[in-house]
Amino acid sequence: MLDVIMALATEIFEDDDILPSSRLEEAKRFDSMNLVQFIIELSETLELDIEDDEVEKTMTFAELAKKLEADK
């Protein structure tokens, strides 16, 4: 799951330098519109219902993966 999250994040935030330990808000092109797009595409790709308020901009990509795996 982390691989999928990282691939989508790299594409949507146009940032090849993000790491699993990076916080979402640290991505180069992070803004509210890109965050919403990231959540929508992540929901569709993983076939999960992910609410906007479940994803906090201060969480790391690795923390997000753990949370979504636990919610599965």
Tell the burial category of 51 from Cβ atoms under 10 Å away from its Cβ (0-12, 13-18, 19+).
exposed
pTM of the complete model: 0.91
Q: What is the pLDDT of residue 71?
A: 82
Within 13 A of 57's CA, how many CA atoms are on the CB side? 12
Q: What is the pLDDT of residue 4?
A: 96
List the domain range (segments joined by +) for residue 54: 2-71
Number of domain units in the chain: 1
Q: List pLDDT tens digits, range 20-69.
A: 999 999 999 999 999 999 999 999 999 999 988 889 888 999 999 999 99
Q: What is the pLDDT of residue 37?
A: 96
Question: Residue 21 sits in a domain of what CATH number?
Answer: 1.10.1200.10
